[in-house]
Chain A
Amino acid sequence: MLETIYTIIFLQLLILAIVPYLVLRRWVVNLLERYAERRKRRFEPHALNLLNDPIATEPLERRLFPGDRKFIKELLLQLAAQLKGQDRCNMTTAFEKIGYVKSEMSALLSRRWWRRLEAAINLGTMQSQMAVTALIDAVGDPVEDVRLAAVRALGQLNEPRGLRLLLGIIEEGDLWTGSRIVEVLIGMGPKVTPEIISRLEATTNINARLLYVQICGLLQITEALESLFLLLRDPDKETRISAVKALGQIGDVSAVESLIISLDDESWEARAQTAKALGALGDKQAVDKLKRALSDENWWVRHNAADALYRLGEEGIEALHETSASEEEAPRATAAQVLAERALGV
């Protein structure tokens, strides 16, 4: 009985403690947020001045109140994220001069994974070449989020050593990590082309090949056309689908003949993707074959073929009108639907 009474007293005290705790915490948090905003506003003119004179860091280093260093870092990071060109370079110089790059590099070794994550992200924004080696080391971090943040940061640094490292991870890593690297490589632009083509031809890893094909499509690498034509006959369905998609994205009409053959692929996903790619290429050679694809047993193939025909212009639209008046139910309905949708502009 006595234990129960103690339990009740304990529970009551707990509830009585929680309410003031919540209220007090809310008050303190609001107060700190307002203080942080005030301090940031105080330093804002000096931060903007760095864009003209990146070594004029003295007013920012002359910190007066606790937490100022953190507030200044946040302010500069917010500003840096919006900058390009020379302003961006000036901001990097300022980060280095005030010592933020060094402190974030040290933070990459922190025991707390979330601090390492934050440091990797910040170093990406700071874009200092000083951090390359530290970020390369961070790519081997035990925590996936930190690894990915380091990968992204290396991409932002646009550093050749980083490129080779990223491509190495594509060969060894999983699809998710690989996809994030694809995003980084796309951001790096056409300079990745020679390396991608040589790896696309050499790799035996199916996942890596899919990612290289994806990059070829997204960066519209015409030098990859011959390799992609070969992949249209690959035994792996996913590879064929990716190759078709990439050919559509590259947009070179020399792919039309090969794609017309792919419209007979045994996989409906590959046929549907092929129809879409033919629409993107816009070559009228494909009209007859696409019109036949309107009778495909799969809804997606029919719909993509109808959509592609519309995109091919007059001859394709004519083919759609003919089909919409035919007796075969599925092709008629698909053609009528696409004609109606496009007439509405959707």
Chain B
Amino acid sequence: MVQSGGVLASIILGFNIAILIYFIAINSNYFILLAISYFSVLRYRRRIEHEQWRRVIQSPLTIPVSIIAPAYNEEFTIDESVKSLLMLEYPEFEVIVVNDGSTDNTLGKLKTSFNLPPIPSDIEERVPCQQILGVYRSPDYPNLVAVDKVNGGKADAQNAGINVSRYPLICIIDADSLIEGGALLRVTKPFLERPEKTVAVGGIVRIANGCTIEGGRVVHVGLSRAWLPVIQAVEYLRAFLFGRCGWSALNSLLIISGAFGIFRKDVVIAVGGYRRGSLAEDMELVVRMHRYLREQRREYEIRFLADPVCWTEVPESLRTLGRQRNRWQRGLIDSLRIHRRMMLNPRYGTIGMVAFPYFVFFEMLAPVVELSGYIIVPISYALGIVDFPFFALFLTVAILIGVILSTGAVVLEELFYRRYPKTSDITRLVAAAFLENFGYRQLTVWWRVKAFWDYFSGKTAWGKMERKGFTKT
């Protein structure tokens, strides 16, 4: 392999070896997570296969839930989203839509569609938030509350929702998402099973592009005709079905998606609510909860369940997708930087010793290492430090392992959930697992590497998400 000497060659060779070791380590981790997820999902499915959800609904012991949906310029999707929330099957819940100073007609649309007059309110500030301008309630929908407030960002709006909420569990969702009918019941089950331990539970986020939506409900599941959402569908399956399932089984879940998560309100208030101005307020809150509960030496569980489903619209243009990925990466860097004290700190148990280092090395730094690989390996080849067969074979193995891992997620989906009814959808998902390696993956790496520059140069903007509203056919 080595064809030339010298210090530079030794450095480059060393770098190549480091990349190889990193590649082996990251993929070993992925395969371990995939195996853990398989057994964890298998056990969970066997447990709930015979669950009589109707009886759970009728139980007087279910815990009331406040659903909090922050909305900023969501005039195209807000109607469908609120309708879907009001139709949830759950004994006692309230829906709190927080209009975070939208500049479009979000509030107006809410007021018109749901007949929401303003009412006087006595709100206790349990967690900090911007001024609340008004609270609206509907005579037609007794469990719907709309809150209008000064713009302060998503985390601030979520805090406002917490202040207005009345129930002991809070369910945080994105106003542009649709929650499946029985999802709330399923996601609260761990709170009923282990009330003294469970502090947060997340559900799976699936992609609504390509699905048929009627009256705020997904009535037919399908894949988009465009390839970009299909590739993202594979990414989501990978992230949720084997990423989060695996970490949840180890009680080391560092993120519950802001699109659909449920929390014990007293714990969220005890840690001070969402961190205002954060770029990844969902992850930051979960990491802070881990930190707080570990420092308090409390026994607790933060879990992910793969069957309570939330549907969301994903970007169909590269420009919007790039902004979203850039923000996610900046949020990841921010959350890990804020809580860097937990890194390799035995005081925080598996979180400090396993999950946190994993997120630093294999999530946050992964795009940097990958980009370095894209640059150094061809240079090594050009300088004759590695030969062509090695270069080509390494690249092929890397791509094939990526395809296998993504296909593994599709296999989990097919074995346990079968949400895509058409056989052609399965073949398209596998094809997307292959195609994502040629162009899409490199673009993602670039957006995420650029996020480092943006983060350290102080860019805090969220980036605009263009929404067209859920399609009806």
With A4-B393, A5-B393 known as contacts, the answer to whether A299 contacts B122 (CB < 8 A) is: yes
With A334-B122, A344-B117 known as contacts, the answer to whether A23 contacts B400 (CB < 8 A) is: no
Give chain A residues whose Cβ lies under 8 Å from the Cβ of B400: 8, 11-12, 15
Give chain B residues whose Cβ lies under 8 Å from the Cβ of A186: 60
Tell me whether A48 is interfacial, beta carbon within 8 Å. Answer: no
Tell me whether A188 is interfacial, beta carbon within 8 Å. Answer: no
B430 and A18 contacting across the interface, CB-CB below 8 Å:
yes
Tell me whether A337 is interfacial, beta carbon within 8 Å. Answer: yes
From A179, which residue of chain B is reached at the shortest CB distance?
A: B61
Give the complex CA separation of A152 and B50 in angstroms.
Answer: 13
A23 and B195 contacting across the interface, CB-CB below 8 Å:
no
From A345, which residue of chain B is reached at the shortest CB distance?
A: B139
Give chain B residues whose Cβ lies under 8 Å from the Cβ of A27: 423
Give chain B residues whose Cβ lies under 8 Å from the Cβ of A107: none
- Minimal beta-carbon separation of A270 from chain B (angstroms): 16
Give the complex CA separation of A27 and B390 in angstroms.
Answer: 41
Which chain A residues in 10-43 approach chain B with CB under 8 Å? 11-12, 14-15, 18-19, 22-23, 25-27, 29
With A18-B411, A22-B430, A337-B120 known as contacts, the answer to whether A117 contacts B403 (CB < 8 A) is: no
> A145's contact among B47, B194, B403, B426, by CB below 8 Å, is which?
B47
Which chain B residues in 249-288 approach chain A with CB under 8 Å? none
Tell me whether A121 is interfacial, beta carbon within 8 Å. Answer: yes
A15 and B403 contacting across the interface, CB-CB below 8 Å:
yes
Tell me whether B299 is interfacial, beta carbon within 8 Å. Answer: no
Give the complex CA separation of A15 and B429 in angstroms.
Answer: 13
A303 and B122 contacting across the interface, CB-CB below 8 Å:
yes
Give chain A residues whose Cβ lies under 8 Å from the Cβ of B427: 19, 22-23
With A22-B410, A26-B423, A114-B46 known as contacts, the answer to whether A333 contacts B122 (CB < 8 A) is: yes
Which chain B residues in 148-194 approach chain A with CB under 8 Å? 166, 192-194
- Minimal beta-carbon separation of A268 from chain B (angstroms): 12
Total interface residues on B, using CB and 8 Å? 47
Tell me whether A183 is interfacial, beta carbon within 8 Å. Answer: yes
Tell me whether A341 is interfacial, beta carbon within 8 Å. Answer: yes
From A118, which residue of chain B is reached at the shortest CB distance?
A: B50
Tell me whether A1 is interfacial, beta carbon within 8 Å. Answer: yes
Tell me whether A109 is interfacial, beta carbon within 8 Å. Answer: no
Q: Choose among A15, A22, A23 the residue with the greatest number of B CB atoms under 10 Å from its CB.
A: A22
Which chain A residues in 32-75 approach chain B with CB under 8 Å? none
Size bracket of the A interface? 35 or more
- Minimal beta-carbon separation of B146 from chain A (angstroms): 12
Tell me whether A340 is interfacial, beta carbon within 8 Å. Answer: yes
Give chain A residues whose Cβ lies under 8 Å from the Cβ of B195: 175-176
A23 and B119 contacting across the interface, CB-CB below 8 Å:
no
Tell me whether B40 is interfacial, beta carbon within 8 Å. Answer: no
Give chain A residues whose Cβ lies under 8 Å from the Cβ of B121: 333, 337
Which chain B residues in 47-62 approach chain A with CB under 8 Å? 47, 49-50, 52, 55, 59-61
With A12-B400, A186-B60 known as contacts, the answer to whether A302 contacts B430 (CB < 8 A) is: no
> B193's contact among A25, A176, A330, A344, by CB below 8 Å, is which?
A176
A26 and B414 contacting across the interface, CB-CB below 8 Å:
yes
B122 and A302 contacting across the interface, CB-CB below 8 Å:
yes
With A117-B46, A183-B61, A345-B139 known as contacts, the answer to whether A340 contacts B119 (CB < 8 A) is: yes
A336 and B120 contacting across the interface, CB-CB below 8 Å:
yes
Give the complex CA separation of A299 and B196 in angstroms.
Answer: 24
- Minimal beta-carbon separation of B33 from chain A (angstroms): 18
A179 and B119 contacting across the interface, CB-CB below 8 Å:
no
B139 and A18 contacting across the interface, CB-CB below 8 Å:
no
Tell me whether B5 is interfacial, beta carbon within 8 Å. Answer: no
- Minimal beta-carbon separation of B35 from chain A (angstroms): 15
Give the complex CA separation of A183 and B142 in angstroms.
Answer: 28
Give chain B residues whose Cβ lies under 8 Å from the Cβ of A341: 119, 137
10 nearest A-B residue pairs (beta carbon):
A333-B122, A340-B119, A11-B400, A336-B120, A299-B124, A114-B46, A346-B142, A334-B122, A344-B139, A4-B393
Other 20 A-B pairs with CB < 8 A, given A149-B50, A340-B137: A1-B390, A1-B393, A4-B390, A14-B404, A18-B411, A19-B407, A22-B410, A22-B411, A22-B414, A22-B427, A23-B426, A121-B52, A145-B47, A176-B193, A176-B194, A182-B61, A337-B119, A337-B121, A345-B142, A346-B137
The chain B residues found within 8 Å of chain A, CB to CB, are: 46-47, 49-50, 52, 55, 59-61, 117, 119-122, 124, 135, 137-139, 142-143, 166, 192-196, 389-390, 393-394, 396-397, 400-401, 403-404, 407, 410-411, 414, 418, 423, 426-427, 430, 434
